[in-house]
A = this chain, B = another copy of it.
């Protein structure tokens, strides 16, 4: 019995180790309450834009999957095409340590996503909303209704397909 218990504890311990490792590598991050999985490889996606909000002191970079980047660079974003995935990385801003009139990324606040699937997400403008909070990538929202909170705020961008991102000029 003791041996079995030891064996179980060792296995559980190893399991925790593996889970911890996998999570750190972005493999086992839990999905959001509306069932969206963290898009793989998003941090290696290409750049579409940046922004700085002074109402909540945050600096942002917006990346996109291939479909999104192609659309952005061709100016074909009205509407954004099916399959578009936009990732917005949001950091608390802070003063540049060597240049006091510059603001740079501080602590990561969250990574948030908009995923275009007009059928699946017809209740929220054809966009699936998802957010993972902090470096620990905790899914945002107590239940699936959190997406209504996202969509409510994005009403301000109704004229641009509910997307705030303004693709940057790139030569």
Contact = CB atoms under 8 A, between A and B. Distances in A.
A54 interface: yes
Contact of A170 (B43, B103, B166, B170): B43
A90 to B, nearest CB: 10
Interface residues of A, number: 47
Query: How many copies of this chain sit in the oligomeric assembly?
Result: 2
A5 to B, nearest CB: 36
Nearest to A157: B98
A3 interface: no
B50 A168 contact: no
A108 B49 CA distance: 12
A156 interface: yes
Interface string A52-69: 111100011101000000
A76 interface: no
Contacts of A136: 171
B63 A47 contact: yes
B61 A61 contact: yes
Given A26-B171, A104-B166, 15 more contacts: A49-B104, A49-B105, A50-B104, A50-B105, A51-B59, A51-B104, A52-B93, A53-B101, A55-B101, A91-B168, A96-B166, A98-B156, A98-B159, A99-B164, A105-B166
